[in-house]
Structure 1
Amino acid sequence: MVLSLADEESASVLTSDVALRGHIAIGSSGGWLVMVDERGALRMANPVIGAHVDLPVITTVSFLHPVSDGSWFCLHFEPFL
């Protein structure tokens, strides 16, 4: 399921790419999707051209901090200011 907050619309998207099955899109920019799986593994994918690349594990991103039992993360904006 893909949801556009700007357009207030949603759509189901299927992929034939086995590497992306079981992933959920958590963000997008310029045709690229940021995907995450149940283990927290991040991947960037462009379904139009069929390209994808693994990103660093979410727990290694210095500006994301786990909250409670680690099922949620807090994003600190200071590094971007």
Structure 2
Amino acid sequence: MNEADALDIAQAAIWTVVVASGPAVLVAMLVGVAIAFVQALTQVQEMTLTFVPKILAIFITIAISAPFIGSQISIFTNLVFSRIETGF
């Protein structure tokens, strides 16, 4: 295994993390912006108001996108195992 192989695997691992976490991060961002907008309009500055909707939205998003996340991790795992099998 040389440096190029290690960099390829590291790049694939980082890309897998970005793609797999993308739906949850996107939903958290959208819900956070929406709640901040509602708080700015109503001038209700309750700190705990932001946490519960975000947590619920993230859990629902993870439950819905679990097959996608699993497939991304499976693709990465197959890539690593195929690289091990071929001897890099």
Considering the TM-score relative to the shorter chain, is it more than 0.5? no
Q: Which has the larger radius of gyration?
A: 2
Q: Which has the higher helix share?
A: 2
TM-score tier after normalising by the smaller chain length: under 0.3
Q: Which has the higher strand share?
A: 1
